[in-house]
Amino acid sequence: MNIVMLTNTFTPHVGGVARSVETFTAAYRQSGHRVLVVAPEFPDMPQNEADVIRIPAVQNFNGSDFSMVLPVAGLLTEAIDELRPDIIHAHHPYLLGMTALRVARFHKLPLVFTHHTRYEEYTHYVPGNSITLQRFVIELATRYANLCDQVFAPSESIAALLQERGVTAPIAVVPTGIEAERFAQGDGQRFRTAMNIPHDAFVVGHLGRLAPEKNLVFLAEAVAAFLQTEPRAHFMVAGKGPSEEEILAIFSRAGLASRLHFVGLLEQPHLADAYHAMNVFAFASESETQGLVLAEAMMAGVPVVALDAAGVQEVVRDGCNGRLLRDKTLPAFVSALAWTAGLPAARRQGLEQCARETAQEFSVPRTMAKALYCYEKLQAKKFVEQPEADYQWEKLLQLIKAEWDIVKGMTEAASAALVSNESTPGRSA
């Protein structure tokens, strides 16, 4: 089977979507399928990539660690004609997602869309962020999904949310798989030594993009409060992002900076070693569609403490492989961390075993089989044109652009007025 993946983020960018595309692409290729990946350019991206087309892009869009793809007409034509694809798979509803729709329609091919992201949680990166804009991005993703032949939801809770929002296209739950063998083995003590973490410390760990939508201020405050009650505890944070300074500030104010360890971006085998260096994985994000890092931690035998939220509740089973907290207060989170630290050895071993068994449910072979089954069903279906739906989609894009321009203009005008007020002698706010 020949598959085209179009994504707005890809290696070396670190994030759930990039890792998902990379994981599925590698698995498909190893199974004998050919995959062409269309993705933006990124600094330090691999050279001489096979079957990867890079599109010019604006980096660090609006202070985020995302890129904004610059459309290049005709750049894909030759590669698409040479590949003769069977499936077009979009990983976003905008930018290269729009390209995916046009390619699928022109070549009369099935279009698959993975709804990786709750886009309304990311509008703070856009000028003029507003409730109206959040409604628009939800409508954008919903309308796009309904133009597709198949939608992949990374979890049952996201599948239910999409149906609630009006997605009528077929939805299949297809999580991103984890490579179990890569995380089952690791040297935690070696990693602790390299990071100057005591070998007998109780290590609370976290891994991910350090950004506001991940609820990291709450997490840092909860872990800092726990560390104040547990002298042997340390906090190890893997990843990079704009929230790093806020985390450090919270620990510095609490006098705990010496027990906070930023270990940066990690690749294998250091990534597996980092998981094995943890005693518990702490997670407070409520913006996920799938708990990928939770499954990875569990494959290393690490129990998880997390807030009950979409994408998390399919992985964390309260009292079995960790704690799933419906009480989303700081005291509840601190108490759950203390609970894991105080477990008797036999009870903890049971938690670790349950974590490993849970992680096996998300292995790459299982998730790839689900995706390929859907692809094969689509191949057997006859292409059906949707001219009216496509027309309504184009109208929606024009409406969103108009709304964005209006709100952005109002924000810039207000900002200019404030600057003018502050710079006028004799005037004050």
- By the 10 Å C-beta count (0-12 exposed, 13-18 middle, 19+ buried), 398 is classed as exposed
pLDDT of residue 427: 42
Contact 6, 38 (CB under 8 A): yes
Contact 38, 127 (CB under 8 A): no
Residue found by looking up tokens 């279009």 in the block = 111
Calculate the CA dihedral of residues 395, 94, 215, 22 and round it to 10 degrees.
160
Q: Which residues, other chains included, contact 284 with Cβ-Cβ below 8 Å and sequence gap of 6+?
A: 214, 215, 216, 218, 219, 222, 306, 307, 333
Cross-strand partners of 54: 39
3-state secondary structure 83-146: HCCCEEEECCCCCHHHHHHHHHHHHCCCEEEECCCCHHHHHHHCCCCCHHHHHHHHHHHHHHHH
Contact 319, 296 (CB under 8 A): no
pLDDT of residue 290: 84
Contact 312, 294 (CB under 8 A): yes
Which amino acid type is present at position 181? E
Fold of 180-362: Rossmann fold (3.40.50)
Q: Which of 19-23, 81-85, 91-95, 242-246 has the lowest mean pLDDT?
A: 91-95
Q: Using one digit for the tens of pLDDT, what is the confidence trace for 216-262?
A: 999 999 999 999 999 999 999 999 999 999 999 999 999 999 999 99
Distances (CA, A) of 362 to 2, 29, 333: 24, 19, 26
Q: Using one digit for the tens of pLDDT, what is the confidence trace for 198-210?
A: 999 999 999 998 9
Residue found by looking up tokens 């891994």 in the block = 207
pLDDT of residue 396: 58
Q: What does residue 116 show for φ and ψ, rounded to 5 degrees? A: -70, -30
Which amino acid type is present at position 110? P
In terms of pTM, does the model score above 0.85? no
Report how far residue 296's alpha carbon sits from residue 298's, in angstroms, rounded to the nearest whole number: 5
pLDDT of residue 117: 78
Domain ranges of the chain: 2-177+366-416, 180-362
Longest Cα separation, the chain: 75
Statement: residue 164 has pLDDT above 90: yes
78: its two tokens = 């030759």
CATH superfamily of 2-177+366-416: Glycogen Phosphorylase B; (3.40.50.2000)
| pLDDT tier for residue 291 given thresholds of 50, 70 and 90 | confident
Cis preceding-peptide flag for 269 (omega within 30 of 0)? yes
Contact 113, 148 (CB under 8 A): yes
**Of 304, 289, 60, 327, nearest in space to 176 by CA:** 289
Residue found by looking up tokens 């869009």 in the block = 61
Q: Using one digit for the tens of pLDDT, what is the confidence trace for 62-85?
A: 444 444 555 554 668 888 999 999
Question: Is the fold of 2-177+366-416 the same as that of 180-362?
Answer: yes
Report how far residue 278's alpha carbon sits from residue 204's, in angstroms, rounded to the nearest whole number: 6
